[in-house]
Amino acid sequence: MKKRIVVALGGNAILTTDASANAQKEALIHTAQYLVDFIEAGHELIISHGNGPQVGNLLLQQQKGATEKNPAMPLDTAVAMTQGSIGYWLENALVNELKKRNISKKTVTLLTQVVVSETDPAFQLPSKPVGPFLSKEEMNSEKKQTKATYVEDAGRGFRKVVPSPKPIDIVEYPVIKQLVEHGIITIAGGGGGIPVVMKDGGYQGIEAVVDKDFASEKIAALVHADMLVILTGVDYVSINFNQPNQLDLNKVTVAEMERYIQQNQFAPGSMLPKVQAAIAFIKENTNGKAVITSLENIKKLLEEDTGTIITA
């Protein structure tokens, strides 16, 4: 049975240790092979993606080359720039994979604005990691130049953090809905979308990065998707993670996941926002389901319902 599916692809799945354009294109060629499985199974597909590493790297490049006559671009513009570059690479990879499988489908990348509130408390407490992992020495050096806020991220080094307000609305959601209704594979909400606020009767960009999982949830709810698939580095969400009594979760309810959140089972800034986004989607669409799993598990998800599947 045909379903409308929103797939949220992590920025770290696009960029690994090699930040070059060619390496990211290669990663997305690999990614496209899995994503086209949804199309081959007859589903409508909307793809969102992260950009944390990419937008952070772009900001560093901007800062290094900035002059009085050629100043660095603001954060919202950098998000738009990475929406374009990653969308271009992903669209190209999808078109080529569709041709290989003789599937006649059109693909488009849509520049997407996400409405946030200027009074969101996130602006007082930057928390969203962007850019590469730095050693303590590299972090201290960068901090002297940029005055940015840095935090240790998952024991892998220090990363710059920026405000990450919650999405209120998606400006282009009617266009996304229209495109997918016409059978067009739509890449939207890249990097969590370009953050904008309503001001003086219009939208204005603001310095922030919206979490791509929450932005993807908002898109999925507004276009009445049947399923939200959040891709991460593991096949299952687990409780008691990395402990002898670790338990992988397969089919769970919102109530069970909320209980696990109260038990602090999910790491903030890592698995927690994915679980929260999945719960938010189910609460807005009680007939839908949310899945958290890995890219490599997509075929098994389609055939066997494996992965962490959350329902009302």
Query: Nearest 5°: CA angle at 47, between 46 and 50?
Result: 150
* Residues 256-305 pLDDT 10s: 999 999 999 999 878 999 999 999 999 999 899 999 999 999 999 999 99
pLDDT mean across residues, the chain: 92
Crossing angle of helices 272-284 and 254-262, rounded to 10°: 150
pLDDT band for position 139 (50/70/90)?
confident
| pLDDT for 12 | 65
* Residues 175-219 pLDDT 10s: 999 999 999 999 999 999 999 999 999 999 998 999 999 999 999
Average pLDDT over residues 123-131: 82
Task: Tell me which fold the domain 4-115+171-310 belongs to.
Answer: Carbamate kinase (3.40.1160)
Beta carbons within 8 Å of 88's beta carbon, 6+ residues apart? 109
How many Cα atoms are found within 13 Å in the side-chain-facing hemisphere of 241? 15
| pLDDT for 79 | 95
Q: Would you please indicate which residues are annotated as catalytic (active-site) residues? A: 11-12, 128, 212, 274
